[in-house]
Amino acid sequence: MPPFQEKCFPATWLKAFMVSPGVLFPAAYLVLYLSVSAFLNTGFKKELCQSYSVATHDSRRLSIGSLKAGPDLCSVKITGIESTPAQASLNKGTRSIRTVDVNLSGIAGFMFSRSARELFIHEACRKILAEESLPQ
């Protein structure tokens, strides 16, 4: 075997390995999962907090620690939730909720459809308000 073919063998094997389905599918899933996480924790978190204020008729404010997509990309875990009164004179104090899980039908529709995001926001606000009403 000529010496130049021996040097090309590892590079050829590496290229074949990188384009194999066993590498491409997990890599595509990882890219999708990371993009969903980035989407959830940037502008969407702010949108959820604003909708919560509207749902409580501007009587409470919401702060969220993080939003994490489930491994199957069909649920979102909201962690580090704090609901505070908008005015200091209200008798209800700050409420802390550790986690709330919200299911969604599909992440593709969620990221690209305004109506799917609004349905998710409505469901998330409903679950957070239900958790707030439970005694601490």
pLDDT at position 50 is: 92
- Measured CA to CA, the distance from residue 76 to residue 67 in angstroms comes to 7
Sorting pLDDT into bands at 50, 70 and 90, what band is 36?
confident
pLDDT at position 80 is: 92
- Measured CA to CA, the distance from residue 128 to residue 125 in angstroms comes to 5
CA dist list (Å): 48 to 16, 24, 89, 91, 120:
44, 34, 25, 24, 9
Indicate if the pLDDT at residue 1 is higher than 60: no
- Measured CA to CA, the distance from residue 67 to residue 53 in angstroms comes to 18
pLDDT in tens, 48-57: 999 999 988 8
pLDDT at position 4 is: 53
Assign 97 to helix, strand or coil. strand
Indicate if the pLDDT at residue 118 is higher than 90: no
| Largest CA-CA distance found in the chain, in angstroms, rounded | 86
Neighbouring residues of 14: CB distance < 8 A, sequence distance ≥ 6: none
pTM, full prediction: 0.76
If you write DSSP's letter for every residue of 23-51 in order, what string do you get? Answer: HHHHHHHHHHHHHHHHHIIIIIHHHHHHH
